[in-house]
Amino acid sequence: VVHLHPSICLDHKPEWVIYNEYVLTSRNFIRTVTDIRGE
């Protein structure tokens, strides 16, 4: 399980994303994300 990094500027919590950066701290975060919307 990963969480969106607090620096992410999305106005919603997407169901699916593509990410570029994985950050390992006390929690697992992803940064530089793009949300994916189904058709």
pLDDT for residue 19: 94
Beta-carbon contacts of 39 under 8 Å, excluding residues fewer than 6 positions away, are none
Give pLDDT tens digits for 1-39: 899 988 888 888 888 999 999 999 999 999 999 999 877
Distance of alpha carbon 10 from its chain centroid, rounded?
9
pLDDT for residue 37: 86
- Rounded Cα distance, 28 and 11, in Å: 21
